[in-house]
Amino acid sequence: MANDEILANLPEIFARARAAQQQWSVVPLQKRARMLKLVRENLLDAARTIEGLIVSETGKPANEALLNEILPAAELLTFLSRSAGSVLKTQPIRLHLFKHYRSQIEYAPIGPVAVLSPWNYPLLLSLSTIASAVVAGNAVIFKPSEYASGVGLAIQSLFDNSALPANLVQTVLGGAAAGSAIIEHRPGKVFFTGGTENGRKVALLAAQHLIPAQMELGGKNPMIVLADANLDYATSAALWGGFSNSGQMCASTDRILVHESIKARFVELLVQKIETLKQHPGKNFGHIVTEKQKASYRVQLEDASKLGIFAVTGGTFSEDGTRLAPTVLEGANIEKSLAYRDETFGPIVTVTTFRSTAEAVEKANDSTYGLSASIITRNISLGARLASQLQVGTVTLNETAYTAGLAEAPWGGIKNSGWGISRSERGLLEFVYTRHVHRPRFRWLTFKSPWWFPYTPFQHETAACGLELYRRHWSDKLRVFPHFVWNLVQFLKSERRL
């Protein structure tokens, strides 16, 4: 079906989604969770095919497709099948007052929801959101990136072949116009993963319809390398954090802040390791997916050159223009450069120095983004103290980037990195709305509440005395208690509710 035909059928697509959700949402939660195991089994059966699709559409190495997408996706489905039942079950509320009533929280699906996914991790980021939505009882309208539509259709087949209600997950192909059209049809919530510029557009469009939206956007993630760091370990962490998926990930290590005493040796070792990997570029590095990304890299490299910043290594494109060599930039004006301050989403890292831990924290926080950060140190206690001062959603000590794939851990950012939490138990709650149910414990405990009409003198005095019972000191409570009791008795005797 052509894209324009699909868009013309969006009303019907949403109608089918609502019908499917009505059928699915009444399925017991534990059974919905077990059904994800069928999706996982389908994923395992199709793993090699999906790996090939990821490699062909995104250009990433096969090892990254398997290790960074398919394996974490299988683990995420396992986590959801085990945890959703306890996270989303009805929860009692302990009431301080009015013990004759019982309160509970119920979690109800908010959908059908719209899932608008990126091209850089087309399986993991899409499947984690869709599976979370489905286990919470939602239908899903899924738009994969137009640069990874093959992976998107493969995800659709995982759900189609899992004995779920027909049309519970529906895939709409297309670009930005398709995403806008989906939002115009007013899903229950929009889940967008992508760049900050496009995120603003999605958020604005959703806000015009008062549709809640979760934004998982970009980052400019610092790595702080303390003076005591093992430099072999630190440079290996920076190498993978900066150039995994050719830097085309929101969690990529972009800004490396190294203590001034070890900076020269750190850069030397990092360049040596890059040169080793460059001997097999197709095996270790992917290619540039979009022309927009290539243009962005050129702008940042030209800006750096104008500021007198030089590439210690890299900075050049391959002859066919499909790859940018892993690039390390440093120089006196590095912190003024676009490469240091703006999201790159590519194989460019910048290196600067600090003298004290306070300065390192200040420089790390000096960003419009707040997604993730990492600290490399032998002193774990010191690292933990510094982590608590960083204005980001995730901090890793002696690791980098990979926690975006941890099923149990929350993932999300602040500032221009968006809002909302994905993955983890906390992330599941993004796919439901909270319904509070308040009822008498027993039928015979149903009576007219004392605050009902009419408003009367003893009613007011009883409330005023009751307020005094919140005093901190027991002597004050004891002083007012007899007055409270006397007014309450008079109120109950002489002032009946209508």
- Alpha-carbon distance 144 to 115, whole Å? 8
Whether the link from the prior residue into 454 is cis, omega within 30° of 0, is: yes
Helices (H) and strands (E) in the chain, counts: 20, 18
Cα 242–Cα 62–Cα 289 angle in degrees, nearest 5: 60
Answer whether 179's CB lies under 8 Å from 199's CB.
no
| CA–CA dist 119, 101 (Å, integer) | 51
Q: How many CA atoms lie within 13 A of 107 on its CB side?
A: 22
Kindly give the residue spans of alpha helices, DSSP state H, lying in 378-456: 380-387, 424-428
- Of 242, 297, 317, 300, which is closest to residue 274 (Cα–Cα)? 242
Long-range contacts of 275-283 (CB under 8 A, 24+ apart): 275/313, 277/239, 277/243, 277/326, 278/325, 278/326, 281/318, 281/323, 281/325, 282/61, 283/61
Cα–Cα dist 376/223, whole Å: 7
Q: Which residues contact 128 (CB under 8 A, 6 or more apart)?
A: 73, 76, 407, 422, 423
CB-CB neighbours of 355 under 10 Å? 11
Which of 57, 64, 69, 216 is the catalytic position?
216
Whole-angstrom distance, CA of residue 240 vs CA of residue 400: 8
Out of 51, 69, 250, 343, the active site residue is 250
The distance between the two most distant Cα atoms of the chain, rounded to a whole number of Å, is 94
Cβ atoms of 307 and 337 within 8 Å: the answer is: yes
Is 465 marked active-site?
no
80-90 burial code (b ≥16 CB/10 A, e <16)? bbebbbebbee
Residues 181-203: b if buried by 16+ CB within 10 A, e if exposed: bbbebebbbbbbbbbbebbebbb
Does the annotation mark 216 as catalytic?
Answer: yes
Other C-beta atoms within 10 Å of 475: how many? 8
Q: Which residues are catalytic?
A: 216, 250
